[in-house]
A and B are shown apart, each in its own frame.
Chain A
Amino acid sequence: QVQLKESGPVLVQASETLSLTCTVSGFSLTNYGVIWVRQPPGKGLEWMGIIWRNGNTDYNSALKSRLSINRDTSKSQVFLKMNSLQTDDTAIYYCTRGNINYGGYYFDYWGQGVMVTVSS
């Protein structure tokens, strides 16, 4: 079955770089895009960026200068790196699969999320 699982450090120092991994199973990264979404404590969801099935990427312009998303298709892993972290980057980070169906593009499977705290 389709699964996504985020992993990475739960505590990062301000000004440092966050590195997260999304390990997927049940589908191929060459057939589906993977998206990163984050949620600060008590707040809503923010789309961060996507790596499409062809390997191209798109980023939220608000994060573009700090963010990169890559993948290793042989390991079924997608990587997020974001530098110059600040305390307001504290959030739950989710990876999710993008699916296309009948004119719709939506996120059909989600990881459980990983809570990342940025300490000053």
Chain B
Amino acid sequence: DIQMTQTPSSMPASLGERVTISCRASQGISNYLNWYQQKPDGTIKPLIYYTSNLQSGVPSRFSGSGSGTDYSLTISSLEPEDFAMYYCQQYDSSPLTFGSGTKLEIK
């Protein structure tokens, strides 16, 4: 199975701040990498698919990049609704594994 290591596990940040979350795969995943946001009520929604493609309706302050084994999600200027959990997920090979998550907290 491909292991997805996500860092940091938690991140205190301030409104308006630029933040980056990293995700490293245990082997190359050919850009087959998605990002999801989970709110405290459990609601999950997709943010980025295929490394850098913004899901419809997701604000442009979210962006994704990376290649090979290393990927990142950047939020350019934090809004109140962005404080949530974030997960990366690879779909290069089965099982389609998720990272362990990053909790974005208000500083």
CB pair B87–A45 under 8 Å, yes or no, is yes
Q: Which of A23-31, A70-78, A79-87, A106-114 contacts B (4 or more CB under 8 A)?
A: A106-114
B34 with A104: CB separation less than 8 A: yes
Give the residue name and chain of the A residue nearest to B6 (CB): A44
Total residue contacts A-B, CB cutoff 8 A? 64
Residues of the B chain whose Cβ atoms lie less than 8 Å from the Cβ of A113: 42
Closest CB pairs A-B (n = 8): A104-B50, A104-B49, A106-B49, A60-B95, A45-B98, A106-B34, A47-B96, A110-B44
Query: Which residues from chain B contact A102 at a C-beta distance below 8 Å?
Result: 49-50, 53
Q: Which residues on B sit within 8 Å (CB–CB) of A45? A: 36, 44, 87, 89, 98, 101
Q: Do the beta carbons of A47 and B97 come within 8 Å of each other?
A: yes
Are A104 and B44 neighbours in the complex by a CB distance under 8 Å?
no
Known: A101-B49, A101-B53, A112-B42. Is A106-B95 also a contact (CB below 8 A)?
Answer: no
Q: Helix, strand, loop or mixed for chain A's interface?
A: strand
B94 close to chain A: CB less than 8 A: yes
A92 at the interface (CB under 8 A from B): yes
- Docked pose: A96 CA to B87 CA in angstroms: 15
Q: Please give the residue numbers on chain A whose beta carbons come within 8 Å of chain B beta carbons, in ascending order.
A: 35, 44-47, 58, 60-62, 92, 94, 96, 101-108, 110, 112-113
CB atoms of A61 and B101 under 8 A apart? no
Chain B's interface size range is 20 to 34
Q: Which residue of A lies closest to B97 (CB)?
A: A47
B87 touches A112 (CB 8 A): no
Q: Please report the C-alpha to C-alpha distance between residue A110 and residue B21 in the assembled complex, in whole angstroms.
A: 23
Question: What are some 6 contacts across the A-B interface (CB < 8 A)?
Answer: A44-B98, A45-B44, A102-B53, A104-B32, A108-B46, A113-B42
Q: How far is the CA of A110 from the CA of B1 in the complex (A)?
A: 24
Question: Which of the residues A58, A104, A110 comes within 8 Å of B94, measured between beta carbons?
Answer: A58
| Residues of chain B within 8 A of A62, CB atoms compared | 95
